[in-house]
Structure 1
Amino acid sequence: MIAAAAENNALGKDNDLVWHLPDDFKRFKKLTTGHAIIMGRKTYESFPSPLPNRKHIIITRQKDYKPADGCIVVNNIEAAIKEATDDEQPFIIGGGEIYKLALPFSDKIELTRVHGTFEADAYFPEINTKDWELVSEEHHEKDEKHNYSFTYLTYIRKE
């Protein structure tokens, strides 16, 4: 899974992020390029167009949903994961409901913790430290390009 979530686990509001962190966008692109990305329909629709060099797998309950050419549509998390079996490192990219559904299937979380609390309508699930081990942490202060400080956190599922 890959996500940016505030200290109160806020992900976004009205199908948009509530912060702008250019370095986090660059990291997202670097990590996900060349891989399958699994997302809900609303997350997919928040993009101006499909993201280049990624296999898009969209989960929706809509029976006749028609995304851009080349995107795969499924109706549950299990089917999405099955569509990504040819990729050793597919990424769950949101939104909130999809993260909750995918958590039991995930073995790694790349989380950008945005230091602040925000009003939101989508939230990242709570990370239970009994199940997850923090293996990497990299802090970034706010600066002229970033209105908030943030920390890249990498969690691995405990055996």
Structure 2
Amino acid sequence: MKLTMIAAIGKNRELGKNNDLIWHLPTDLKFFREQTKGHTIIMGRKTFESLPGMLPKRHHIVISRSNPDLDQQVEIFSDINAFMEAYQDKDEEIFVIGGAQIYSQMLPFASKLILTEIDQSYDADVYFPEFDKSEYHRSVINDITENDVHYKHVVYERIN
């Protein structure tokens, strides 16, 4: 299994507020869709509940300590360890899509981060975890200004 984390973050690693995104960037949403389509996506329960519904053409995994009543197509694990044990031998790229707790717990296992780095600060209540950028090779794949917001799509690949 190859774990890839994907997130849009503000200048201070802001992720969201009140279980919602704090910006509206249609081009970035399209980028997210293109990157994750056809793959397994893993998230916490609150992130799943914030989605508009099942994301098409993706297998959904939810990590939740409670036993939520979710769509039958969603695979549920009680914790990260149970997920890792079940998926460790799978030959596929799995995308971690949030929230903050899941990002923090999965960061040590992720070989790649795909971050939308937004060049603004926002009022937020959840943040992407800090990480040592010197442990990664950084490459910018897009540089975009949309709705008066400047951002870059950046790939960080862990140096082994």
Fold conserved (TM > 0.5)?
yes
Going from structure 1 to structure 2, the CA distance change for 1:91 and 1:82 (only over 3 Å counts) comes to farther
Q: Distance in 2 between matches of 1:13 and 1:137?
A: 27
5+ residue gaps, structure 2: none
Aligned partner of 1:157 in structure 2 is: 158
Identity %: 40
Q: Which runs of 4+ in 1 moved over 4 A?
A: 82-85
Q: Considering only aligned residues, what root-mean-square deviation do their CA atoms show, in Å?
A: 1.4
SS at match of 1:102: helix
Contact residue 58 and residue 80 of structure 1 kept, 8 A: no
| Residue-by-residue CA offset, 1:9-58 (whole Å, 9 max, x unaligned) | 00000000000000110011011011000000000000121111111000
Residue 138 of structure 1, CA deviation: 2.2
Which letter maps to 1:58? V
Higher mean C-alpha displacement, 93-102 vs 78-87: 78-87
Please name the residue that 2:99 is paired with.
95
Establish whether residue 68 from structure 1 lines up as the match of residue 71 from structure 2: yes
More strand per residue = 2
1:6–1:117 CA contact under 8 A, matched in 2: yes
For residue 149 of structure 1, report the CA deviation from its aligned partner: 1.0
Q: Any stretches of 5+ residues in structure 1 without a counterpart?
A: none
